[in-house]
Amino acid sequence: MTTTHSDDDSLGFGTRTVHAGWEPDPLTGAVMPPVYLTSTYVQDAPAEPRNGYEYSRTQNPTRFALERALAELEGGARGFAFASGMAAIHTLLLTLERDDLVVAGDDLYGGTHRLFGRIEARLGLRFHYVDTTDPAVLADLPADTRLLYLETPTNPLLKVTPLAAAIEGARRVGAEVAVDNTFASPALQNPIALGADVVVHSTTKYVAGHSDVVGGALVVADAERAEAVAFHQNSAGAVAAPFDSFLTLRGLRTLEVRMQRHCENARRLARFLEAHPKVESVIYPGLASHPQHEVAAAQMRDFGGMLCFEVVGGEAAARRVVAALRVFQLAESLGGVESLVELPGPMTHASVPPERRRELGIGDGLVRLSVGIEDGADLEADLARALRTA
């Protein structure tokens, strides 16, 4: 695999994000990778591909640039880019065997929960859901666990798993660890450096950062796991398209500066909401009131741009608040430069059965904010105005 000068660990993260995955083109000097839209490549002789390129499902220079960049920034052996985050997760699970046990966090993105329960289970994998914020649970994983699958922070309740304890518990039973790092991004957290085997991303979110492309990624810690993922990526074929790879890489270049503003604005709004008389509760890892605040402070460089809150008056009041917002836009997804608001219960987590949502604490009046990079004072004023309607 090609390396770049951004592999130099002495460089800061911001420098590495700008340069990761691509050196200026030796032929033209292009500072960004061209979009290679070809489907196939001329071979020098039968079964003698030029520079290893045969077919774009298997090899594409634009996608390879993105994959190298993600691997460099996450500290992994190799990265893989997919057509969506769900395609990335599905491909990871394809590397397992029938009847393998996956232990997963009990608070997962609704699409992941649906994938596990309605597709992967039907294909023969077993799933067991636990509270991964509890060190006692992590120390007593089932003996036949094959994969420990984590989100941290989780979607939508922003639970934070102590990764050191999780990885130690998984190693005790011979399991591998995969961490969905979408909410934190490599700017704030690097699970591989803490011992994880695989990092998962919906690159649609903070990695691309502009709500204009859908994608996913896996970054693996070692070459053996990379071979298995590469085989299944190529065989199943849900790869990132060249132009999507280009857009994602373009967004990635500004990840550090965007995350700084996301975090700054989210901290401001979390404090504002926590002090507001019409707000019942606020969930944000950067608040001392968050039950895993100290864990987050120990393993993350900042606390992210996502927060949740509940309005006094329940679901009806929450619906009035989201309808009254003007800068925040009512939409699913997250991690873009613009601020978004949603109600996870009837929206992103509607595929989770209502009784299960209630057990987890995802009430229909829970409001989730993806805090963008607009002027923080404008975002606060927008929330203040909307809360007056509650």
Extract long-range pairs of 287-290: CB within 8 Å, 24+ residues apart. 290/158, 290/160
Q: What is the DSSP string of 127-182?
A: EEEE-TT-HHHHTT--TTEEEEEEESS-TTT-----HHHHHHHHHHTT-EEEEE-T
Task: Give the separation between CA 41 and CA 212, rounded to whole angstroms.
Answer: 29
Please indicate whether residue 206 is annotated as part of the active site. Answer: no
Helix (H, G, I), strand (E, B) or coil at 92: helix
Catalytic annotation, pick one of 180, 197, 244, 302: 180
- The helices-and-strands tally (H runs, E runs) of the chain is 14, 14
The answer to whether 361 and 340 have CB atoms below 8 angstroms apart is: no
Per the annotation, the verdict on 180 as an active-site residue is: yes
Q: Say which DSSP state 7 is in.
A: G
- Residue 67 vs residues 223, 246, 253, 335, 343: alpha-carbon distances, Å: 14, 11, 14, 20, 33
Helix (H) or strand (E) holding 283: strand 279-283
Which one is catalytic: 78, 106, 107, 109? 109
Pair of tokens at residue 341: 């608001």
The catalytic position among 16, 159, 205, 258 is 205
Alpha-helical regions (H) of the chain: 13-19, 61-74, 85-94, 110-115, 135-138, 163-172, 185-188, 223-236, 242-252, 255-274, 293-299, 314-324, 354-360, 376-387
Amino acid identity at 70: L
* Alpha-carbon span 278 to 389, nearest angstrom: 10
Catalytic residue among 57, 172, 250, 261: 57
Does the active-site annotation cover 55?
A: no
Residue 328, helix vs strand vs coil: coil
Cβ atoms of residues 220 and 227 within 8 Å: no
What is the spatial distance between Cα 54 and Cα 60, in angstroms, rounded to a whole number?
A: 9
The catalytic residue positions are 57, 109, 180, 205
